[in-house]
Structure 1
Amino acid sequence: MIPLSGPDITQREKDLVMEVLDSGILGLGPKMRQFEQMMADYVGVKHAISCNSGTSGLHMLIAAMGIGEGDEVITTSFSFVASANCILFERAVPVFVDIDEATYNLDVTQIEAKITEKTKAILPVHVFGQPANMDEIRALASKYNLWVIEDSCEAIGGEWKGARVGGLGDAGVFAFYPNKQMTTGEGGIIVTDNDEIAELCHSIRNQGRGEDGLWLSHVRLGYNFRMDEMSAALGVAQLERIDEILAHRERVAQLYLEKLKAIPEIILPHVDADVKMSWFVFVIRFAETVNRDLVMERLSKRGIGCRPYFTPIHLQPFYVERFGFKPGDLPVTERVAEKTLAIPFFNSLTEEQVDQVVAAIQEEIEHAKEQVNL
């Protein structure tokens, strides 16, 4: 078995978690505050507000920015469903823009045509760890007085023209699920330079309590979106060695890029010259002649972890039922999504395992071609 992903946990993580357990302070404690300060410093912003997931972080930002019923937020359908669901949580409407076929990020040339008087924000997703074109997005946001919410959940350490993602819009969110570059088990964090947004998010994540912190004093609608101390301890240990973690992932990515380039039926990830990639997953795309689903099925039977990345949000049953989306609405997104596949990718993946994966992919492509010819 070669799994699709796996966390990178060392003795340091275990020691810090045990330190928390021994302290008896399991929530809203010093490890949470330490992790938040470390994240703010890492991104280069004034504020970091930890929470229990990236989804919660995105939801809080939508609420804190006053985006509500009937408002529109421009975003991508080529993403995990949370980046659109967070808009619906506040009864606003996601407006999907097609993607750039090379980077799989929002096609910035199509955004302006989707802006209406109801548009309140642009929510770019740095897909698979590749930063979106933030220059064009910020220019449009400035022109039309829109918020910019960076979904950086897949892109910690990624850079756009030398500046780290998360701090390039009005606010950003990172996520730390076990398949991410670094993990806190479950967890996420908001980063921002906006004092008002930070204050509101501190309150919203903690049941709407005011800044005075008085117990059972709630000044607004809030949620239990807090990060616990054990998760924060994991975050501290992981962030201490984030450069090492990202370097391991870069090593594995380069192995794949070198060994897969000889297979003509595979389109390899494209990395723009203006960005520093933060490798979240390694996603290949098959040529039109290859049956992706057949290859995926047979790889899985061989014990090689793989998943389609992504299934378009606008074609998810709930979105089709609610909004009437149909095939053909976002042709590039749909064409790409039919052929993309995430293959095993994690820090400790060895060159021998990479060779096994590459050989298996090549064999199964040949098998799929034979099935077509039959």
Structure 2
Amino acid sequence: MKPVPTREIPLSFPYLDEREEELVLEVLRSGRLSLGPTIDSFEELLAERVGAPYAAAVSSGTAGLHLLCHLAGFGPGDEVVTSPFSFASSANCFMFEGATPVFADVDPRTFNLDPAAVEAAITERTRGIVAVDIFGYPCELEELRAIADRHGLALIDDACEALGAEYRGASVGSHGPSAVFAFYPNKQIATGEGGVVTTHSEEEWRQLRSLRNQGRAYEGGGWFHHVQLGFNYRWTDIQAAIGIAQLEKLDEILRRRGEVAARYSEALASVEGVEVPLADDADHRRSWFVYVVKLAPELDRDRVMAELRDQGVATAEYVPCIHLQPYMRERYGFGEGPCPIAEETSRHTLALPFATGLDTEDQERVIEALRTAIGS
């Protein structure tokens, strides 16, 4: 029997070096730990990178999505259409405002919202669409924007997993609809926690800056001059310092992550029962967030995952359908059936260890462990 390796290969880990330490130390020595100039610098750099005129940093991607839903005016009695195949915040963001989630099914290969399903889900109560660039693959933004325009709906791009992705030759975030990016440690750039909203509206940017800081006014008035009910969604200059260092090497990060993904796809393409992620095309350039494979229906995913873990390889279901989460079932009575493609996909997908700094030796261990688990 082959011995089980003693060191576990984690699902993800951040890519940090001395530059992050250097910039964090500068902030610590400056005495400005929050509401300082390092946040302003990060926002300017991020906006330039994405191709949007304005950016407002917040405490998380969820916070950014919530602020956009708040500004869109979603409330009780309203419906918002979103993807069932995403992280829970894609729906929580407007539920915070009292709106009701409506889930439209996804495309079987991109795993993003199917525009036809979105159109079919719209009712007289629909007020918005929260699109998702799942796993860093750009959604069908132009088709969704046309639907939103046709029905007079707000369109928000949940790009929390897609920093660096491109849609129709331009960066995600540059096309017009406001977008949100996130910086959790498994994201393309990692600051511990954090997010940013990019917008093409100066007025929306001003509102975001006010709302993230308890509704404070920045034009005139005193330090404690609050003109609206806001939130404590502030970021810190320490996190912004890490973010600047990460942005400086974003091209390297994207290249390395692409190389890790390419090694997986090449090695797994011939493994029977494993469907690798969809390749890029002329309109879609993925920014690799995670590496998720889909297993054939005849394979027992739970058994495969258990065997991977036994071999010291971390893995996770990626991702459970939002509408089938316990709180969604209890609150709205959702069950299986309304989104068959998303539900079927969710039953058979799993994430493999994926990180900017994942070395070849560890990746080969993962590949061999998966082959063994599939074949056993």
Long gaps (5+) in structure 1: 368-374
Separation in 2, partners of 1:68, 1:340? 34
For the aligned residue pairs, the C-alpha RMSD in angstroms reads: 1.0
* Residue among 88, 100, 119 paired with 2:95: 88
Check whether the contact 1:171–1:191 (CA below 8 A) recurs between aligned residues: yes
Partner of 1:226: 234
Partner of 1:352: 361
Partner of 2:254: 246
Separation in 2, partners of 1:348, 1:40? 26
1:361 equivalenced with 2:370 (yes/no): yes
Separation in 2, partners of 1:214, 1:224? 18
* AA aligned opposite 1:342: A
Partner of 1:370: none
Separation in 2, partners of 1:194, 1:118? 26
How far is 1:353 from its partner?
1.6
How far is 1:169 from its partner?
4.2
1:216 equivalenced with 2:237 (yes/no): no
Partner of 1:107: 114
Check whether the contact 1:176–1:182 (CA below 8 A) recurs between aligned residues: yes
Describe the superposition over 1:173-229 as per-residue Cα deviations: whole angstroms up to 9, x where unpaired: 000000101011110000000122111111110001123262222111111101100
How far is 1:263 from its partner?
0.4
* Residue among 134, 142, 150 paired with 1:127: 134
Describe the superposition over 1:92-132 as per-residue Cα deviations: whole angstroms up to 9, x where unpaired: 11110001000100011111111122212111110000000
Partner of 1:177: 184
1:261 equivalenced with 2:269 (yes/no): yes
Aligned length: 367
Check whether the contact 2:176–2:200 (CA below 8 A) recurs between aligned residues: no
Partner of 2:209: 202
* Residue among 137, 144, 154 paired with 1:137: 144
Partner of 2:161: 154
Partner of 1:315: 324
Check whether the contact 1:50–1:187 (CA below 8 A) recurs between aligned residues: yes
* Residue among 37, 40, 44 paired with 2:47: 40
Check whether the contact 1:103–1:272 (CA below 8 A) recurs between aligned residues: no
**SS of 2:132's equivalent?**
coil
Separation in 2, partners of 1:15, 1:344? 29
Long gaps (5+) in structure 2: 1-7
Moved over 6 A (4+): none
C-alpha spacing 1:169/1:296, structure 2 compared with 1 (3 Å): farther
Partner of 1:60: 67
Check whether the contact 1:121–1:141 (CA below 8 A) recurs between aligned residues: yes
- 94-103 or 191-200, larger mean C-alpha shift: 191-200
TM-score by structure 1 length? 0.96
How far is 1:301 from its partner?
2.0
Check whether the contact 1:108–1:136 (CA below 8 A) recurs between aligned residues: yes
Partner of 1:5: 12
Q: Identity rate of aligned residues, in percent?
A: 46
TM-score by structure 2 length? 0.96
1:285 equivalenced with 2:294 (yes/no): yes
Check whether the contact 1:203–1:222 (CA below 8 A) recurs between aligned residues: yes
